[in-house]
Amino acid sequence: MTRIIGISAFYHDSAAALVVDGELVAAAQEERFSRRKHDPSFPQQSIAFLLEHAPGPVDAVAYYESPWLKRHRVRSTVLAAAPHGLDGFALALAGGALRRDTTQRALRHGLRIAGLPADTPLLWSRHHLSHAASAYYPSPFERAAVLTVDGVGEYATTGLFLGSGHRIQALAEQRFPHSLGLLYSAVTYFCGFKVDSGEYKLMGLAAYGDPRSARTAGLRKLITEHLIDIRPDGSFLLNLRHFAFHRGGTIIDAGDWEELLGLRRRLPETPVGDEHANLALAVQQVTEEVMLRLARLARSRSGSTALCLAGGVALNCVANTRILRDAGFDDVWIQPAAGDAGGAAGAALAAYHLALGGPRPSGPRPDGPRPDGMNGALLGPEVSPGSVARLKDRYGADYERYGEFDALAAVVAGELAAGKVVGWVQGRMEFGPRALGNRSILADPRNPETKAWLNTHIKAREDFRPFAPSVLAEAAEHYFEAPAQSRYMLLTTDVRRSPEGAVDASPIPAATHVDGSARHHTVEEPRNPRLWRLLTEFERLTGCSALVNTSFNVRGEPMVASADDAYRCFLRAGIDLLVLGDCLFRLDRQSARIDHAALPLD
């Protein structure tokens, strides 16, 4: 038996994952324990959780990238940009990027504190290889093209691979500073959102842009003529004159972009206007076009009819859907933890299969395709009954415990049908950014007012942000046009509407975006029997097979992990009901109160 821990750390979204004989058995992001959103620090608490699940001593630790190559890229970049790179050089020096063995020392120190032996082998992957491994090895495919797209790893910003059996072969790469992810992040910054955390907001904002307006077309033309040169095969060059990330400091010079685009940069926390929505749509269209061309290149170079996707840009659900429909692949599988957190899983899988030569079972399964190696992304810690009981001692919490889950599901479904909002915590926590029914806030999707209420009163976030529907897999075709299976909420589809075609005629208006689409989540009984049972009961009561599903957190905080996190968020956000396992908490029966004001901003 071979036990490997994979680690991603020191940039953003630190995480750790445990692989046993090639199977991913546990994974978690450090932010869920530290309560610091996008925590980049060494994943000490995540590793402590993994060690509880390790069936014996750890044989090796794998890091998700090469710190030596990364430092070499930083040095080369700031020196090449001289004299403009002096600020970048100072930042790199302050961060330790120019000192030798900084990462290795930090890893050894953290592992020593975690209690691992000093002689535990430490293996090194490559950033995009880790992304590729995270996508290919858990996929249901025996052979597949693999496309990885993000901001930057060591040097690569885009990677094209071929996975076959237990091997992964690199086919091509795009190198820094030419990066589709950094172009998208630059527009994210210009529209007033945080780089490396606000890109999903830009994707949501894009739906508010007008695809028929001359202004949107003009902004797209400015992007493709002045910011990025896109080649027919999907390769591209950024016009570095209009970017600053390679010189240090901010990602762009806002004044330069204002002059180029004829538009003022939106300041954070100010109203979002039509012009910024049109810009968001323009860069979304460009991103989709590049991703589609890259996917077609992957199809031709690999000769495979299956595709795996990873890297931060693979969290762009709209682009993923374009690839699924138009790139010429029979099947597409997307890593649910596609960003850097998923690199921890990829590093461990690459170490087992590539460095140690561990086998990957081949051939068809008696019951169908290879099983999904991400186990529904439900890889984190569970909430123990003891931790629920301790809420009574700590907060005076009042709750009812149900002996039969069916009875609990019936009560909760009835409350949802009556318009109540429910915090829902079941089983193991999700790995990755999506709430998939184990750390979720649920609501009735039939009420058009639900979206505004959730954004304003519960989540305390921007009013343009959409919510996703979780729907019974067997009923998905009744709600969506040509719905693809979307177990990980990484695809979009159009919601079926009345013959008049109005968005407000949607059967699930609270989970329908302004453009009539939805980032749907299909729920199957074997994968998540409790959420499936709740949806079934809600369908029995209302005739509706879907629920609004958003992550269980408030703005500026990570998704809840523990019973204590869930209870405090339940009180702070004013959620009507909280379900922790078999226990039901009602807000109006709680004596403790936590102020909802002064929420941290993300």
Nearest to 245 by CA among 305, 188, 302: 188
Q: pLDDT tens, 385-426?
A: 899 999 999 999 999 999 999 999 999 999 999 999 999 999
pLDDT at 80: 62
Q: Is the pLDDT of residue 500 over 70?
A: no
Please determine, for residue 364, whether its predicted confidence score (pLDDT) is greater than 80: no
Q: Token pair of 352, please? A: 């087992």
Query: What is the C-alpha separation between 191 and 42, in angstroms, rounded?
Result: 31
Closest C-alpha among 97, 311, 307, 298 to residue 199:
311
- Rounded to an integer, what is the distance from CA 286 to the centroid of its chain? 21
Core vs surface per residue 416-450: b (16+ CB within 10 A) or e? bbeebbbbbbbbbbbbbbbbbbbbbbbbbbbeeeb
Q: What is the pLDDT of residue 599?
A: 42
Q: pLDDT of 138-153, one tens digit each?
A: 999 999 999 999 999 9
Query: For residue 69, with 0-12 CB atoms within 10 Å meaning exposed, 13-18 middle and 19 or more buried, which class applies?
Result: middle
Pairing type for strands 23-29 and 60-63 reads: unpaired
Mean pLDDT, residues 281-296: 98
Q: How does pLDDT run across 50-66, given as a tens digit for each residue? A: 999 899 999 999 999 99
- For the chain, the farthest-separated pair of C-alpha atoms sits apart, in whole angstroms, at 70
Provide the pLDDT for residue 498: 66
Structural domain spans, the chain: 1-138+338-375, 139-334, 385-589
Q: Which of 327, 286, 285 is nearest to 309 (CA)?
A: 327
Fold match flag (1-138+338-375 vs 139-334): yes
Check whether 368 has a pLDDT greater than 60.
no
Structure confidence at residue 372 (pLDDT): 87
- Report the DSSP beta bridge partners of residue 90: none
CATH of 1-138+338-375, one of 3.40.228.10, 3.40.50.300, 3.30.420.40, 2.70.150.10: 3.30.420.40
We find that the CATH architecture of domain 385-589 is Alpha-Beta Complex (3.90)
Picking from 33, 37, 34, the residue whose alpha carbon sits closest to that of residue 561 is 33
Q: In degrees, to the nearest 5, what angle opens at C-alpha 536 toward C-alphas 531 and 539? A: 125
pLDDT band for position 71 (cuts 50, 70, 90): confident
Phi, psi torsion values for 28, nearest 5 degrees: -160, 155
How far is the CA of 192 from the CAs of 185, 253, 279, 316, 381, in angstroms?
11, 13, 12, 19, 35
Q: What is the C-alpha separation between 517 and 207, in angstroms, rounded?
A: 9
pLDDT at 169: 97
Q: CA-to-CA distance for 96 and 99, rounded, in angstroms?
A: 5
pLDDT in tens, 515-539: 999 999 999 999 999 999 999 999 9
The tally of CA atoms less than 13 A away on the side-chain side of residue 233 is 11
> Residues 491-496: what's their mean pLDDT?
94
Q: How far apart are CA 251 and CA 248, in angstroms?
A: 8
Superfamily of domain 139-334: ATPase, nucleotide binding domain (3.30.420.40)
Model confidence at 555: pLDDT above 50: yes
Is-contact 302 295, C-beta < 8 A? no
Per DSSP, which regions of 64-205 are E strands?
Answer: 122-124, 143-149, 156-164, 167-175
Q: Is the pLDDT of residue 348 over 80?
A: yes
Average pLDDT (439-455) is 96
- With 80 as the cut, is the pLDDT of residue 245 above it? yes
How sure is the predictor about 360, in pLDDT bands with cuts at 50, 70 and 90?
confident
Catalytic residue among 12, 127, 246, 276: 12
Q: In one letter, which amino acid is 334?
A: I
pLDDT computed for residue 90 by the predictor: 53
47: left (phi over 0), alpha (psi -120 to 50) or beta: alpha
Active site residue 12: yes
Cβ atoms of residues 148 and 130 within 8 Å: no
pLDDT the model gives residue 598: 40
Q: What residues have CB less than 8 Å from 597, skipping those under 6 apart?
A: none
Task: Give pLDDT, residue 482.
Answer: 78
Burial class of residue 467 (count of CB atoms within 10 Å of its CB; 0-12, 13-18, 19+): buried
pLDDT score of 81 more than 90: no
Looking at per-residue confidence, does 484 or 475 come out higher? 475
Residues 6+ away with beta carbon under 8 Å from 168: 129, 132, 133, 136, 146, 161, 162, 350, 353, 354
Q: Give yes or no for a contact between 128 and 291, defined as CB atoms under 8 angstroms apart.
A: no
- Positive or negative: CA dihedral 224, 225, 229, 230: positive
Report residue 323 CA to chain centroid gap.
18
Model pLDDT, residue 593: 72
In terms of Cβ atoms closer than 10 Å to its own Cβ (0-12, 13-18, 19+), residue 265 is middle
- Encode burial over 310-327: b for 16+ CB neighbours within 10 A, e otherwise: bbbbbbbbbbbbbbbeeb
% of the chain surpassing 90 pLDDT: 84
pTM given for the model: 0.94
Determine how β-strand 521-523 pairs with β-strand 468-472.
parallel
| pLDDT surpassing 60 at residue 103 | yes
Q: What is the pLDDT of residues 372-382, one digit of tens each?
A: 899 999 999 99
Stretch 261-265: mean pLDDT = 97
- CB atoms near residue 579 (< 10 Å): 26
**Which is nearest to 412 in space by CA: 593, 540, 510, 567?**
540
Bigger pLDDT: 88 vs 109: 109
Beta bridge partners of 25: none
Whole-number Å distance between alpha carbons of 382 and 427: 5
Given this model, what pLDDT does residue 312 score? 96
Res. 597 pLDDT band, cuts 50 70 90: very low
